[in-house]
Structure 1
Amino acid sequence: MFSNFLAFPLEYIPFVAITLIAAFTVHEFSHAYVAYRFGDSTAEKQGRLTLNPIKHLDPFGTILIFLVGFGWAKPVPVNRFFFKNPRRAGILVSFAGPFSNLVLAFLGLFLQVILAKLPFIAGLPDGYLQSLTLFFNIWVHLNLVLFLFNLMPFPPLDGFRIIQDLVSPDVRAKMTQYESYGAILFLILIITPLDNILIWPVLDRGMRFTLNVFNTLLQPLL
């Protein structure tokens, strides 16, 4: 009965939980670390320059992921005042989070390929092999979703922040002025069937392309 209220099959939940805890933690840590390297210690002073998941996970945002398939972690505070070159630093800080998920996805696929070649792995019972394959598939899939999803040009996603730092100051000011409306529009896209028309097809194509690149890079190991 409880499984009827979940966004994922019940048997997926442990693997989804492990993946998202790692993905969210590394994502937010990456924002904090790159900001710190560029001179902003705001996140570090608030205890966010850490790989401790408790510091990064938002309880309500995490629970929602399992219920509706959409959620969030605690945003890392960034003060652009401390950056010598705010636009360049801002782009790199914003991109650091999604890029970390891309790296995690690649590492997951790489490890899956390596483990598949180990003799003792092949000797595991079928149930263990299926669980291992399921875990890696979930790991790669969810990290790629987070990578591509966060690069979409809607507030408050990282893609929106990157665009803000790429455009002229005048355009940035207008984007900031209408940011709240953009956030409402994005929320409507997420919670209505429009996401199946405007968001998931883009993510699906992006994942297919990225996986093809990954497979090309790993081809010597296959």
Structure 2
Amino acid sequence: MDLNIVQKITVYALPVIFAITLHEAAHGYAAKHFGDTTAFMMGRISINPLRHIDPIGTILVPLLSLMLGGILFGWAKPVPVNFSQLRNPKKDMFWVAAAGPLANLAMAIFWAFMIKIATLMPGSSFALPLALMGQAGVLINAVLMILNLLPLPPLDGGRIAVSLLPQHLAYRYAMVEPYGMFILVGLLFTGILGSILWPFVTLFIKVLSAFFGISLG
């Protein structure tokens, strides 16, 4: 279904905000669970989007992505994590990093369930808006989950890789982090990032679609 820009903003607003902000809140919750209370003390373990919204990354960049097409891209204010305060820093880093993508996985499943509900109430005035918002939610969370699992520091996948590598290799790999965002932006603007992500995003959506017996095309 073709939507104008106002309709797109209406459909995508809530899924985008919660996909990005709950991703960050999940990192903070995991860090607190494993011993680092930095995010908790700063009030960042919250489902209140206002605590996580970055005006550029959470609003402006996703809005431009919707208008220009391509990969829906964005970010929230990173949740501060002091890995040295974790009870087992190298081991616990895995779970703190994985918490964000796992939150996106949970939200993708939630939005797929919303689409299933929409299919069960044909004729309702809420069915179409709910289905469209559900499709947006599945897509956004699939992209963010897979994007963040790329093994590139400072993305979550990079930190997961650091936690799994032997100490001497982990140290060298972590040194890539200051350049990670520049590499990511370069991959985005050259189109390489899309070529890497879309096959995995498409496969994930197909699996979710088959599991719930819904159309996500």
Q: TM-score range by the shorter chain?
A: 0.7 to 0.9
Q: Distance in 2 between matches of 1:17 and 1:139?
A: 10
Q: Which residue of 2 aligns with 1:207?
A: 201
Identity value in percent: 34
Q: Which residue of 2 aligns with 1:27?
A: 23
Helix, strand or coil: the match of 2:90? helix
Verify: 1:143 aligned to 2:137, yes or no.
no
Q: CA RMSD in A?
A: 2.0
Flag as ranges the 4+ runs of structure 1 deviating above 6 A: none
Greater C-alpha Rg: 1
Structure 2 residues not aligned, in runs of 5+: 66-71
**Kept in 2: contact 1:23–1:104 (CA 8 A):** yes
Helix, strand or coil: the match of 2:35? coil
TM-superposition CA deviations, 1:22-65 (whole Å, max 9, x none): 11121111111111111110100011011111111111212122
Q: Which residue of 2 aligns with 1:123?
A: 123
CA spacing shift, 1:92–1:108, aligned 2, 3 Å: same
Q: Which residue of 2 aligns with 1:108?
A: 111
Q: Distance in 2 between matches of 1:39 and 1:163?
A: 21
TM-score relative to the length of structure 2: 0.85
Q: Distance in 1 between matches of 2:183 and 2:202?
A: 27
Helix, strand or coil: the match of 1:199? helix
Aligned partner of 1:64: which letter? Answer: V
Aligned partner of 1:18: which letter? Answer: L
User: 92-101 vs 206-215, which deviates more?
Assistant: 206-215
1:180-199 matches, cutoff 5 A:
180-190=178-188, 192=189, 194-195=190-191, 198-199=192-193
TM-score relative to the length of structure 1: 0.84
Structure 1 residues not aligned, in runs of 5+: 1-7
Verify: 1:83 aligned to 2:86, yes or no.
yes
